[in-house]
Chains A and B, each alone.
Chain A
């Protein structure tokens, strides 16, 4: 056999089975989908309940985060103003409280991001349970929720402690403060109270997410494991 003929024969020997394999795979993979978990009526109700909580809370949390983030900008401006020398020694105390309030606000934004992330993971799990999705993705999502939950709780507690500490620092009789420090003190006190309220809301959101995650975890564990998608020869 001449060399070109050999090359052609060799190429055909590789290309023909290759093309046939590609064709077979193309046809077989079109009809493969991960099996859907068979959900009972009660389980569908659980998913609907969890979905309802999460959708409402996610909406609220995202709007709150926009508000909290803009408050960081405003507090930043206040801290800058209070750093001016003409406030004198009385200004220093208010300045440190303002800085603490600003740190608390930033931490609040972080907590909000974490809680929103947690709510989105729960939402992803619910969608994954309703539609065909790889069990491994669901297990990874649930694992992430489990790993995040204690970190979120720790950050919430830490932020809470910071807010309380700042409140203690603001225990000055505002009547002893010269203007405009008195006005600044009022603003900081108001900011501190708002932070407390926001943190209470975040605690409740986190608790809702944790409550929703428990039944979701059980449902995920019940999803069928995809044992095989392709098998050859038999």
Chain B
């Protein structure tokens, strides 16, 4: 597929995916080389799309909250590190599935999960950003969305009952987005490793926990890497 055909094909496949994820995964052949190539292309496109959403979102937040003084919200690292976390999660899921006697190969896992995440990550990012902005406007605060499912409130807000009821609504939507994420991951791993949903769920949960445990180390390594290669990476961002 040439570079100009990617957005059109991506749009068509993403609509099909969201209409019925189960049927989409059922029809997908993870072993095929073309599918692997397509997953990589879609992942690249999704990376650009979600980075664009995040950059627009950060532009709309006051500089004093996300500027140089707020060292913890480094815009460039933000965009870079979550993709590293996604790849690490795919590797962890594969390792967990193999430990539970799964039969899939790393290539099929990468093909399947990268395809699924290339649809999910931009969609969840956009939904959370739009919702976050609406909620933030009411609460007089700012919600920074870090793909795929990270949300940060940047300012304290009046924790009145009405505000908490509103934020609870946001969290409920967030919960279902996260659940959808998990179900798609479980569905993909179930297909590639051919074992029960129960085992797949165990493998996915342990990968999530493992990612949570190594996240600080991952962030540290990404930041060190980013500091060294910043001028080169900025060209691509």
Taking Cβ atoms with an 8 Å cutoff, the residues of A that contact B are 14, 17-19, 21-22, 24-26, 29-30, 32-34, 134, 136, 139, 225-234
Residues from chain A with Cβ under 8 Å of B73 in the complex: 227
Shortest distance between the CB of B66 and any CB in chain A (Å): 10
Do the beta carbons of A231 and B151 come within 8 Å of each other? yes
- Partner-A contacts on B (CB < 8 A): 64-65, 69-70, 72-73, 141, 149-157, 159, 164-165, 167-169, 171-172, 174-176, 178, 212, 215
CB of B137 to closest CB in A, whole Å: 15
Contact for B64 among A14, A33, A139, A233, CB less than 8 A:
A139
Which B residues touch A17, using CB under 8 A? Answer: 171-172, 175-176
In the complex, which of the residues B64, B72, B155, B212 has the most CB atoms of chain A within 10 Å of its own CB atom? B155
Contact B154 A228 (CB under 8 A): yes
What is the distance, in angstroms, from B48's C-beta to the closest C-beta of chain A? 25
**Nearest 4 interchain pairs by C-beta:** A21-B171, A29-B159, A22-B168, A21-B168
Given contacts A17-B175, A22-B168, A234-B215, are A34 and B156 in contact (CB under 8 A)?
A: yes
Name the distance in Å between B74's Cβ and chain A's nearest Cβ: 12
B156 near A134: Cβ-Cβ < 8 Å:
yes
Specify which chain A residues have a CB less than 8 angstroms from the CB of B165 in the assembled complex.
22
Q: Which residues of A contact B156 (CB under 8 A)?
A: 32-34, 134, 226, 229
| In contact, B164 and A225 (Cβ under 8 angstroms) | no
Closest to A16 in B: B172
* A25–B167 touching, CB < 8 Å: yes
Q: Is the CB of A229 within 8 A of B155?
A: yes
Write the nearest CB–CB distance from B206 to chain A, whole angstroms.
16
Q: How far is the CB of B171 from chain A (nearest CB, A)?
A: 4
Of the A-B pairs whose beta carbons lie under 8 Å apart in the complex, a sample of 10, sorted by A's number, is A17-B171, A18-B168, A18-B169, A22-B165, A25-B164, A227-B73, A228-B72, A230-B153, A231-B150, A234-B150
- Set of chain A residues within 8 Å of B150, measured between Cβ atoms: 231-234
Report the nearest B residue to A15, measured CB to CB: B172
New contact pairs (15) apart from A33-B156, A225-B70, A230-B151, CB-CB < 8 Å: A17-B175, A18-B172, A21-B168, A21-B171, A22-B164, A25-B159, A34-B156, A139-B64, A225-B64, A226-B154, A227-B73, A227-B152, A228-B72, A233-B150, A234-B212
Complex-state Cα separation, A232 to B212, whole angstroms: 12
**Minimum CB distance partner of A227 in chain B:** B72
Q: With a CB–CB cut-off of 8 A, which chain A residues contact B172?
A: 14, 17-18, 21
Counting chain A CB atoms within 10 Å of each CB, which of B65, B157, B159 scores highest? B159
Min CB gap A56→B, angstroms: 33
For residue B176, which residues in chain A have a CB less than 8 angstroms away from its CB? 17
Separation of A136 and B154 alpha carbons in the complex (Å): 11
Question: How many angstroms between the C-alpha atoms of A30 and B175 in the bound complex?
Answer: 22
The answer for the CA separation of A228 and B142 in the assembled complex, in Å, is 10
Cα A13 to Cα B175 in complex, Å, equals 11
Cα(A17)–Cα(B165), bound, Å: 12
Q: When chains A and B are docked, how far (Å) is the Cα of A76 from the Cα of B137? A: 49
